[in-house]
Structure 1
């Protein structure tokens, strides 16, 4: 059975985005940092939630259906947005992330943070101004957690929208590359929530990534905007296995924003924006599969809505992770 749709269709799509993020995160959790060949060897084709293998250095011990830092940091962003009336204070954000890191370490998880976020938080802990800590962050940590910005704000006024995106990036990923990746994801989600199609979400992401690349500290790197457009063409007409191999070989699935963000859009093109299939395809990639899945799931969910997510999978996410995203999502949408 599919859940009954909320009265406001935008709320259905907003919940689809937030739970879609969690869905992609949890499906990709056991295959993260695995080579595509190893994913095929161990799982054949991943078809649903799996527990992490005991030898996975990042997710070992995590039960089937568990979310990771992608979802947990997105919840932090969402909460700070609602508490700040639509703004994220960098000092408060740094404090929240440091508290979250300590909590994770207390639970025995020491390798959940991406390299840019870890470096930035270490700098803040040493006394660096949170407004300056993210000047070298180029990986996908900002893109993985930016979905609440896309829920809370319309992307019609792109420069004003980018101001909000930058606030969510500043502490850890205040660079041309980090902001471009986050802008692409946020704009695609915002477009879906406004009722846009997958093609319109692609177009919004391409435009936002190009504009976002003019914000923050300059970092040499390929254009995320151009690579999103190229990714869509790269998988056209291919069967799923061939397409996944091509994504790994030519786009890449690392934590680099120029790889994982376009890879998520390639998955969306491959599945036509189906949330469950998009999240599963990302999980079968390996590499930074949880983040690629989180991005693809959020965008697909924003276009198709919560109704398009399998009800049993959503219930698993709620039960395993004690996840209750409805109140927070409604608060985000109220900012819009």
Structure 2
């Protein structure tokens, strides 16, 4: 090993940590930007908030996050951090029974606080099946929405994308308890692999290309369910948005690609948004204005863009707000996930 390579090692490690921290920050920032607009229509969003350019309080017509302060995160970030801790505690593996129990406890805690920010449809059904005595290995056989993809960023930080079959194995372990379907696993594989490519030093194009390749592997896993291929739709949406004038991006995302909780819409919309991003913060603001599952789209996009760009392009005041409001300390989590990556 040369003196130059020895000198580069700490620099490379610092860069990876910044990317991992950037991914977790991007996840939380996107989640918080979309918190006040989630499940609202574009018209309601425009009337209540105007243009989303910063973190804002939940408005009068926000039902799920009613009364939440600007900068508050939702289930997207909370479940991702829950998964991160399980990965760390399990030395890189996720115990399905422990994950099921953690999800049940999380929702009960939310209900006790009077929160309406509860489990998504696929995760809720899986948790109910667990409560009914169905084994955790079978509980996620109907989960095809974006719940596994929204929380998968820690897998992207902890696992390298060099062997996509092995990478998808890790995604399956973290997803099967709630989303053990071809669509659920393909969508989580796509977002997780995009994050991992960013941590590896890849560009936006590298991240999206890796996402599509991982989705092709992931769609062969789990229980098959009907629906458009995440890989095929992702490539189509990326090319469509690239060929569309910037002024029409939001319209195409809403009306042609879709922004619902369906993986074939929200995850595909996220990949398209990331592929054309030139300003990460502005990308998240656009996502927050789309209508539909805004917090999840912005959270997934933020995780990928943060992995690619690191922390530098996230606004300092927004970082301070999100960290303060939610009592977040993400650097130690990022560091522990990276320790799993280099083993």
* Normalised-by-shorter TM-score class: over 0.9
| Cα offset, 1:289, TM superposition | 0.3
| Cα offset, 1:111, TM superposition | 4.4
1:105 counterpart residue number: 111
* 1:217 paired to 2:226: no
| Cα offset, 1:57, TM superposition | 1.8
* 1:247 paired to 2:243: no
Q: 1:223 and 1:312, CA in 2 relative to 1: closer, same or farther beyond 3 A?
A: same
- Aligned residue pairs: how many? 331
| Cα offset, 1:56, TM superposition | 1.8
1:152 counterpart residue number: 158
| Cα offset, 1:126, TM superposition | 1.4
1:317 counterpart residue number: 322
| Cα offset, 1:6, TM superposition | 9.6
In 1: Cα distance, 2:30 partner to 2:187 partner? 17
**Uncovered stretches (5+) of structure 1, i.e. residues with no partner:** none
SS at match of 2:161: coil
Find the structure with the greater CA-based Rg.
2
| Cα offset, 1:237, TM superposition | 4.9
SS at match of 2:59: coil
Q: From 172, 175, 190, give the equivalent of 1:166.
A: 172
Moved over 4 A (4+): none
In 1: Cα distance, 2:243 partner to 2:49 partner? 25
1:304 counterpart residue number: 309
Larger displacement relative to structure 2 (126-135 or 238-247): 238-247
| Cα offset, 1:275, TM superposition | 2.4
**Uncovered stretches (5+) of structure 2, i.e. residues with no partner:** 1-10
In 2: Cα distance, 1:294 partner to 1:256 partner? 15
SS at match of 2:57: coil
SS at match of 1:108: coil
Contact kept? 1:21, 1:71, Cα under 8 Å: yes
1:286 counterpart residue number: 291
Structural mapping, 1:62-81, within 5 Å: 62-81=68-87
TM-score, with normalisation over the residues of structure 2?
A: 0.94
Q: 1:237 and 1:198, CA in 2 relative to 1: closer, same or farther beyond 3 A?
A: same
* 1:139 paired to 2:145: yes
SS at match of 1:131: helix
In 1: Cα distance, 2:98 partner to 2:214 partner? 26
1:332 counterpart residue number: 337
1:20 counterpart residue number: 26
In 2: Cα distance, 1:129 partner to 1:238 partner? 46
Contact kept? 2:287, 2:298, Cα under 8 Å: yes
Larger displacement relative to structure 2 (166-175 or 45-54): 45-54
In 2: Cα distance, 1:151 partner to 1:107 partner? 31
In 2: Cα distance, 1:262 partner to 1:271 partner? 14
In 1: Cα distance, 2:32 partner to 2:234 partner? 24
Q: From 231, 240, 243, give the equivalent of 2:237.
A: 231
In 2: Cα distance, 1:144 partner to 1:214 partner? 20
Q: Deviations over 1:196-249 (max 9, x none)?
A: 000010110000001100000000110111111111122225444411011100
